[in-house]
């Protein structure tokens, strides 16, 4: 096992109070990490630091052995909110191809290698039959799959998904996590979610964020700890890292 | 008359391609700001005794970069600043025109254009700008598409989003300069957006949208010319009204179509 993301002693603020404090995180290759925490706890901020969009005030971040800005093209990202309008005239295939930006040549159109990678990604998430459809005609679950395929097309070593199942029903949620589990054989996955009870069967570790960060192996999770970890009672979670106890208030 | 038709066709290419991006990215207001502030450059060029199109070109590019910078850096006050530059540019133009010695220029032809007065020189300018626009769009089609669809994702894929945004606004600026020759700067924004907006109602991909918008542009400019010819109406407003009427009818038709 080798470490793909290594964060040491990290602080971050948007100029005011600290959003993240004293973060240490070491993610191994092919791990499946769930990230939880209340709204405004700094989850998305931490992801943006890992992808090099934000720079920490203090501490070090290392992604695949390099500073984040150099490794961002090896990360497949699926955003929490879809910032685009659903009536944008674009097909599933064109959307998925966008994941090739940064890997393909910077001038001209997409080449055959890009089309092949997009086809493979669409096949992996089982939307190949939708390739010519306009995104506005898709269901919520189908659109989530398109966005996962877009994140996959760059053939990433790490995938980061920010609440991939926020707007879909239970059945689709299970399908999507089954799919991620399959992808996890080759790719390290970080997924932000609120539904920690449900995903505990898929993930290896849970990273709890509320300004500070504590990791729990899923084997420690019980119904009670899940309930407590969520929301205001996070401090009641038992964890075995003695030295981190002080940070976890 | 022949120049007018050729001018309309050439202008339709730029307006179909760039107009489609403007419509899907929803920056009509920003494009309007660029179009109107251009009068400042035209007025100064006229005062200095240069061809107005040279002033228009410089002013359009300068304002595109300023407005682009404003919309990137001062998002909260974006509409106020655009409004100020919009009106300020026009005011500068009118002051310079008023101070120009000699017979007074026909201000109306700057504001409302005159497709019938297009010279062969103008046609060369328009053809040159068309070529430049098509070349840039051809080279960076996928970046512009990603930028208008999902800016955050484009940035995470390592696309220098700000640079491409400014480059794109420069294309808008060039297109505006072309279209001013056809319908004048007040009506530019309608010709820039209406063909693409109509086209967007019927097709579901950006490249088809550009193609259909170009065809529609040709139809609107030549159709408007033909309609205005017999009753001796000004062609610019006739072109715009034809496009506007087509847009309204298309909206109603596609609404019913979808419901049926």
What is the pLDDT of chain A when averaged over all its residues? 83
CB-based contact A216:A208 (threshold 8 Å): yes
Query: Which stretches in chain B have pLDDT values below 50?
Result: none
Both tokens of B237, joined, read: 């407003």
The full set of domains in chain A, from first to last, is 3-247 (3.40.50.300)
Q: Whats the size of chain A, residue-wise?
A: 249
Buried-state track A115-128, b at ≥16 Cβ within 10 A, e below 16 = bebbbebbebbebb
CB-based contact B217:B11 (threshold 8 Å): yes
CB pair distance less than 8 Å for B157 and A102: yes
* Distance of alpha carbon A187 from alpha carbon B154, whole angstroms: 22
What tens digit of pLDDT does each residue of B72-85 get?
Answer: 888 778 888 889 99
User: Checking DSSP bridges between strand A188-192 and strand A158-162, what pairing results, if any?
Assistant: parallel
Tell me if chain B has a CB within 8 Å of the CB of A94.
yes
Interface predicted TM-score (ipTM): 0.85
Query: Which stretches in chain A have pLDDT values below 70?
Result: 1, 219-249
Q: Give the pLDDT score at A167.
A: 72
Sheet strands (E) in chain A: 3-13, 18-28, 32-36, 58-63, 75-78, 158-162, 188-192, 205-210, 212-217
Domain ranges in chain B? Answer: 2-259
Buried-state track B158-188, b at ≥16 Cβ within 10 A, e below 16 = bbebeebbbbbbbbbbbbbbbbbbbbbbbbb
Both tokens of A176, joined, read: 């999507």
Only one residue has tokens 């199109």, namely: B53
Q: Give the pLDDT score at B62.
A: 94
What tens digit of pLDDT does each residue of B197-244 get?
Answer: 999 999 989 999 999 999 999 999 999 999 998 999 988 899 999 999
CB-based contact A79:A117 (threshold 8 Å): no
Question: B190: distance to nearest CA of chain A, Å?
Answer: 20
The secondary element (H helix, E strand) that includes residue B177 is: helix B161-202
Chain A and chain B share a number of CB contacts under 8 A equal to: 73
Q: Give the pLDDT score at A146.
A: 93
Q: Which CATH number fits domain B2-259: 1.10.10.10, 1.10.730.10, 1.10.3470.10, 3.40.50.1000?
A: 1.10.3470.10
Residues of chain A with Cβ-Cβ distance to B204 below 8 Å are 89, 91, 134, 136
Contact map slice: B 184-223 vs A, CB within 8 A: 200, 203-206, 208-209
Q: Which of A67, A101, A152, A159 to mutate to test the interface with B (most CBs of B within 10 A)?
A: A101
* Distance of alpha carbon B197 from alpha carbon A105, whole angstroms: 31
Both tokens of B193, joined, read: 């957006």
């Amino acid at each position: 096992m080798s470490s793909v993301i290594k964060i040491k002693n990290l602080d971050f603020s948007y100029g005011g109070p600290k959003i993240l404090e004293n973060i240490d995180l070491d993610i191994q290759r092919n791990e499946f990490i769930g990230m939880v925490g209340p709204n405004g706890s700094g989850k998305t901020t931490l992801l943006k630091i890992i992808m090099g969009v934000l720079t920490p005030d203090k501490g070090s971040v290392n992604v695949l052995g390099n500073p984040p800005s150099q490794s961002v093209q090896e990360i497949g990202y699926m955003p929490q909110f879809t910032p685009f309008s659903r009536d944008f005239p674009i097909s599933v295939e064109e959307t998925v191809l966008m994941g090739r930006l940064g890997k393909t040549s910077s001038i001209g159109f997409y080449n055959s290698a890009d089309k092949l990678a997009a086809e493979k990604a669409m096949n992996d998430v089982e939307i190949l039959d939708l390739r010519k459809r306009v995104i506005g005609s898709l269901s919520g679950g189908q659109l989530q799959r398109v966005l996962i395929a877009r994140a996959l097309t760059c053939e990433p070593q790490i995938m980061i998904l920010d609440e991939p199942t926020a707007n879909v029903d239970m059945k689709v949620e299970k399908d999507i996590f089954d799919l991620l589990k399959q992808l996890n054989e080759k790719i390290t996955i970080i997924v932000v979610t609120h539904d920690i009870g449900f995903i505990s069967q898929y993930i290896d570790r849970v990273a709890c964020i509320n300004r500070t960060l504590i990791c729990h192996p899923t084997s420690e999770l019980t119904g009670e700890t899940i309930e407590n970890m969520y929301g205001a009672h996070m401090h009641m979670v038992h964890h075995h890292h003695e030295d981190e106890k002080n940070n976890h208030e | 008359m022949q120049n007018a038709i050729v001018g309309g066709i050439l202008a339709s290419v730029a307006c179909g391609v760039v107009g489609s991006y403007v419509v899907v990215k929803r920056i009509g207001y920003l494009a309007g700001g660029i179009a109107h502030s251009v009068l400042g450059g035209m007025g100064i060029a006229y005062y200095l005794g240069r061809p107005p199109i040279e002033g228009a070109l410089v002013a359009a590019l300068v304002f595109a970069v300023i407005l682009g910078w404003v919309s990137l850096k001062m998002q909260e006050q974006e509409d106020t600043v655009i409004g100020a530059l919009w009106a300020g540019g026009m005011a500068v133009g009118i002051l310079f025109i008023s101070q120009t010695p000699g017979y007074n220029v026909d201000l109306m032809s700057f504001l409302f254009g005159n497709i019938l007065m297009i010279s062969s020189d103008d046609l060369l300018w328009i053809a040159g700008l068309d070529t430049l626009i098509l070349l840039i769009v051809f080279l960076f089609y996928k970046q512009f598409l990603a930028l208008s669809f999902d800016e955050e994702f484009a940035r995470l894929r390592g696309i220098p989003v700000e640079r491409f945004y400014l480059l794109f606004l420069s294309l808008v600026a060039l297109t505006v300069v072309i279209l001013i020759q056809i319908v004048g700067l007040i009506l530019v924004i309608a010709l820039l957006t209406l063909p693409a907006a109509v086209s967007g109602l019927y097709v579901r991909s950006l490249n088809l949208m550009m193609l259909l918008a170009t065809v529609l542009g040709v139809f609107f400019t030549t159709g408007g010319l033909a309609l205005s010819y017999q009753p001796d109406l000004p062609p610019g407003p006739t072109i715009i009204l034809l496009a506007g009427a087509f847009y309204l009818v298309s909206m109603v038709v596609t609404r019913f179509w979808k419901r049926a």
